[in-house]
Amino acid sequence: MKINKLLNFVIGVNIFLFIGFIAIITWASFMPEQSFSVEKGIGHWSLSFDFSNSASFSALVPFSILQPISETIFSAKTAFLTFYISLGFIYFPLFIYGLLIVQEIVISTIKEESPFNNINAQRIKKIAYLLIGYSLFSDLLINFFMYVFVTNIFLLNISNVSFNGFVIGAVMLLIAHIFRYGSFLQQEHDETI
Protein backbone atom coordinates (compact mmCIF):
# COMPACT_ATOMS: atom_id res chain seq x y z
CA MET A 1 0.00 0.00 0.00
CA LYS A 2 3.04 2.30 0.14
CA ILE A 3 2.90 2.58 -3.65
CA ASN A 4 -0.75 3.61 -3.46
CA LYS A 5 0.11 6.32 -0.91
CA LEU A 6 2.96 7.51 -3.12
CA LEU A 7 0.65 7.69 -6.14
CA ASN A 8 -1.96 9.57 -4.09
CA PHE A 9 0.77 12.01 -3.05
CA VAL A 10 1.95 12.52 -6.66
CA ILE A 11 -1.63 13.02 -7.86
CA GLY A 12 -2.27 15.48 -5.02
CA VAL A 13 0.90 17.44 -5.81
CA ASN A 14 -0.09 17.64 -9.49
CA ILE A 15 -3.59 18.83 -8.64
CA PHE A 16 -2.05 21.44 -6.32
CA LEU A 17 0.33 22.52 -9.12
CA PHE A 18 -2.59 22.75 -11.55
CA ILE A 19 -4.53 24.97 -9.12
CA GLY A 20 -1.40 27.12 -8.65
CA PHE A 21 -1.00 27.27 -12.41
CA ILE A 22 -4.58 28.48 -12.82
CA ALA A 23 -4.02 31.10 -10.10
CA ILE A 24 -0.84 32.44 -11.76
CA ILE A 25 -2.47 32.55 -15.20
CA THR A 26 -5.54 34.29 -13.79
CA TRP A 27 -3.35 36.82 -11.98
CA ALA A 28 -1.22 37.35 -15.10
CA SER A 29 -4.29 38.02 -17.21
CA PHE A 30 -5.09 41.08 -15.07
CA MET A 31 -1.56 42.50 -15.28
CA PRO A 32 -0.68 45.31 -17.73
CA GLU A 33 1.01 44.62 -21.05
CA GLN A 34 4.24 46.19 -19.71
CA SER A 35 4.65 43.24 -17.32
CA PHE A 36 5.26 40.94 -20.29
CA SER A 37 8.24 40.79 -22.59
CA VAL A 38 9.30 38.80 -25.59
CA GLU A 39 12.77 38.13 -26.95
CA LYS A 40 13.60 36.41 -30.20
CA GLY A 41 16.33 33.79 -29.90
CA ILE A 42 18.07 31.59 -32.43
CA GLY A 43 15.50 28.78 -32.47
CA HIS A 44 12.86 29.93 -30.02
CA TRP A 45 11.04 32.82 -28.39
CA SER A 46 11.53 33.72 -24.77
CA LEU A 47 8.21 34.88 -23.29
CA SER A 48 8.42 36.40 -19.81
CA PHE A 49 6.01 37.67 -17.20
CA ASP A 50 7.66 39.89 -14.55
CA PHE A 51 5.41 39.78 -11.50
CA SER A 52 7.80 41.72 -9.27
CA ASN A 53 11.13 43.53 -9.55
CA SER A 54 13.05 40.38 -8.67
CA ALA A 55 10.86 37.50 -9.93
CA SER A 56 9.58 36.41 -13.30
CA PHE A 57 7.87 33.49 -14.95
CA SER A 58 9.05 32.59 -18.44
CA ALA A 59 8.78 30.06 -21.24
CA LEU A 60 10.85 29.09 -24.24
CA VAL A 61 8.56 28.63 -27.22
CA PRO A 62 10.10 27.05 -30.32
CA PHE A 63 9.68 28.70 -33.70
CA SER A 64 7.74 25.63 -34.84
CA ILE A 65 4.94 26.70 -32.47
CA LEU A 66 5.25 30.50 -32.66
CA GLN A 67 6.66 31.60 -36.01
CA PRO A 68 9.85 33.72 -36.20
CA ILE A 69 8.16 37.00 -37.11
CA SER A 70 8.75 40.52 -35.84
CA GLU A 71 8.01 41.07 -32.13
CA THR A 72 5.95 44.12 -32.98
CA ILE A 73 3.34 42.07 -34.85
CA PHE A 74 1.94 40.33 -31.77
CA SER A 75 1.30 41.02 -28.10
CA ALA A 76 3.72 39.45 -25.61
CA LYS A 77 0.91 39.15 -23.05
CA THR A 78 -1.41 37.36 -25.47
CA ALA A 79 1.37 35.02 -26.61
CA PHE A 80 2.37 34.21 -23.01
CA LEU A 81 -1.19 33.58 -21.84
CA THR A 82 -2.16 31.58 -24.94
CA PHE A 83 0.91 29.36 -24.67
CA TYR A 84 0.53 28.62 -20.96
CA ILE A 85 -3.25 28.20 -20.99
CA SER A 86 -3.16 25.79 -23.92
CA LEU A 87 -0.17 23.90 -22.52
CA GLY A 88 -1.67 23.64 -19.03
CA PHE A 89 -5.13 22.58 -20.11
CA ILE A 90 -3.72 19.94 -22.46
CA TYR A 91 -0.93 18.57 -20.25
CA PHE A 92 -2.24 18.58 -16.67
CA PRO A 93 -5.60 16.82 -17.18
CA LEU A 94 -4.04 14.09 -19.33
CA PHE A 95 -1.19 13.58 -16.87
CA ILE A 96 -3.50 13.37 -13.86
CA TYR A 97 -5.83 10.99 -15.73
CA GLY A 98 -2.83 8.80 -16.64
CA LEU A 99 -1.72 8.72 -13.00
CA LEU A 100 -5.23 7.69 -11.93
CA ILE A 101 -5.12 4.81 -14.41
CA VAL A 102 -1.71 3.72 -13.09
CA GLN A 103 -3.13 3.86 -9.57
CA GLU A 104 -6.03 1.60 -10.61
CA ILE A 105 -3.55 -0.88 -12.11
CA VAL A 106 -1.50 -0.92 -8.91
CA ILE A 107 -4.56 -1.37 -6.68
CA SER A 108 -5.96 -4.21 -8.81
CA THR A 109 -2.55 -5.90 -8.89
CA ILE A 110 -2.29 -5.76 -5.10
CA LYS A 111 -5.83 -7.08 -4.62
CA GLU A 112 -5.65 -9.87 -7.18
CA GLU A 113 -1.93 -10.68 -6.68
CA SER A 114 -1.47 -10.74 -10.44
CA PRO A 115 -1.26 -7.87 -12.90
CA PHE A 116 -2.42 -10.11 -15.75
CA ASN A 117 -6.13 -9.50 -16.23
CA ASN A 118 -8.22 -8.06 -19.04
CA ILE A 119 -9.10 -4.92 -17.07
CA ASN A 120 -5.42 -4.03 -16.60
CA ALA A 121 -4.81 -4.72 -20.29
CA GLN A 122 -7.57 -2.23 -21.12
CA ARG A 123 -6.10 0.29 -18.69
CA ILE A 124 -2.66 -0.02 -20.28
CA LYS A 125 -4.31 0.43 -23.67
CA LYS A 126 -5.92 3.67 -22.40
CA ILE A 127 -2.49 4.93 -21.31
CA ALA A 128 -1.10 4.01 -24.73
CA TYR A 129 -3.84 5.92 -26.52
CA LEU A 130 -3.26 8.92 -24.21
CA LEU A 131 0.46 8.87 -25.11
CA ILE A 132 -0.21 8.53 -28.82
CA GLY A 133 -2.86 11.28 -28.79
CA TYR A 134 -0.69 13.62 -26.75
CA SER A 135 2.32 12.97 -28.98
CA LEU A 136 0.43 13.58 -32.18
CA PHE A 137 -1.84 16.47 -31.25
CA SER A 138 -0.63 18.46 -28.22
CA ASP A 139 1.92 20.72 -29.92
CA LEU A 140 -0.26 20.95 -33.03
CA LEU A 141 -3.12 22.22 -30.84
CA ILE A 142 -0.83 24.75 -29.16
CA ASN A 143 0.37 25.81 -32.62
CA PHE A 144 -3.26 26.21 -33.72
CA PHE A 145 -4.13 28.30 -30.63
CA MET A 146 -1.10 30.52 -31.27
CA TYR A 147 -2.36 30.99 -34.83
CA VAL A 148 -5.91 31.85 -33.75
CA PHE A 149 -5.12 34.13 -30.82
CA VAL A 150 -1.64 35.54 -31.47
CA THR A 151 -0.28 35.73 -35.01
CA ASN A 152 -3.06 34.89 -37.49
CA ILE A 153 -0.31 33.21 -39.53
CA PHE A 154 -1.00 29.51 -39.88
CA LEU A 155 2.03 27.26 -40.13
CA LEU A 156 1.55 23.53 -39.70
CA ASN A 157 4.92 22.06 -38.85
CA ILE A 158 5.36 18.28 -38.76
CA SER A 159 8.19 18.71 -36.24
CA ASN A 160 5.44 19.46 -33.69
CA VAL A 161 4.58 15.76 -33.69
CA SER A 162 6.55 13.79 -31.10
CA PHE A 163 7.53 10.56 -32.80
CA ASN A 164 9.23 9.33 -29.62
CA GLY A 165 5.94 9.57 -27.74
CA PHE A 166 4.19 7.82 -30.62
CA VAL A 167 6.69 4.92 -30.46
CA ILE A 168 6.32 4.70 -26.66
CA GLY A 169 2.53 4.58 -27.10
CA ALA A 170 2.90 1.80 -29.69
CA VAL A 171 5.11 -0.16 -27.26
CA MET A 172 2.46 0.34 -24.56
CA LEU A 173 -0.15 -1.13 -26.95
CA LEU A 174 2.14 -4.13 -27.36
CA ILE A 175 2.43 -4.43 -23.57
CA ALA A 176 -1.38 -4.27 -23.30
CA HIS A 177 -1.57 -7.17 -25.74
CA ILE A 178 0.96 -9.11 -23.65
CA PHE A 179 -1.15 -8.44 -20.54
CA ARG A 180 -4.27 -9.66 -22.35
CA TYR A 181 -2.45 -12.83 -23.42
CA GLY A 182 -1.08 -13.25 -19.88
CA SER A 183 -4.65 -13.00 -18.60
CA PHE A 184 -5.70 -15.73 -21.04
CA LEU A 185 -2.83 -17.98 -19.89
CA GLN A 186 -3.69 -17.28 -16.23
CA GLN A 187 -7.32 -18.32 -16.84
CA GLU A 188 -6.21 -21.47 -18.69
CA HIS A 189 -3.89 -22.34 -15.82
CA ASP A 190 -6.59 -21.72 -13.17
CA GLU A 191 -9.12 -23.88 -15.07
CA THR A 192 -6.75 -26.83 -15.35
CA ILE A 193 -6.03 -26.88 -11.61
Spatial neighbors of 183 by CB under 8 A, at least 6 apart, are 116, 117, 118, 120, 121
| 27, 32, 35, 36 alpha-carbon torsion, rounded to 10° | 90
Residue 157: DSSP 8-state: -
DSSP state string for 128-156 = HHHHHHHHHHHHHHHHHHHIIIII-----
Residue 116 confidence (pLDDT): 82
- CA pair distance 21, 168, nearest whole angstrom: 28
Closest among 137, 56, 51 to 94, alpha carbons compared: 137
Residue 156 confidence (pLDDT): 76
Long-range contacts of 32-37 (CB under 8 A, 24+ apart): 33/75, 33/76, 33/77, 35/77, 36/75, 36/76, 36/77, 36/80, 37/76
- CA pair distance 106, 169, nearest whole angstrom: 19
pLDDT one-digit tens code per residue, 101-122:
998 988 888 888 778 888 999 9
- CA pair distance 186, 29, nearest whole angstrom: 55
- The H-or-E segment that residue 45 falls in is strand 44-50
- Strand pairing category for 56-62 and 44-50: antiparallel
Residue 23 confidence (pLDDT): 92
- Strand order through the sheet with 56-62: 36-40, 44-50, 56-62
C-beta neighbour count of 56 within 10 angstroms:
13
Residues lower than pLDDT 70 in the chain = 1, 193
Residue 145 confidence (pLDDT): 92
Residue 192 confidence (pLDDT): 77
Q: Which residues is 39 bridged to in the sheet?
A: 46
pLDDT one-digit tens code per residue, 58-83:
899 998 888 888 888 899 999 999 99
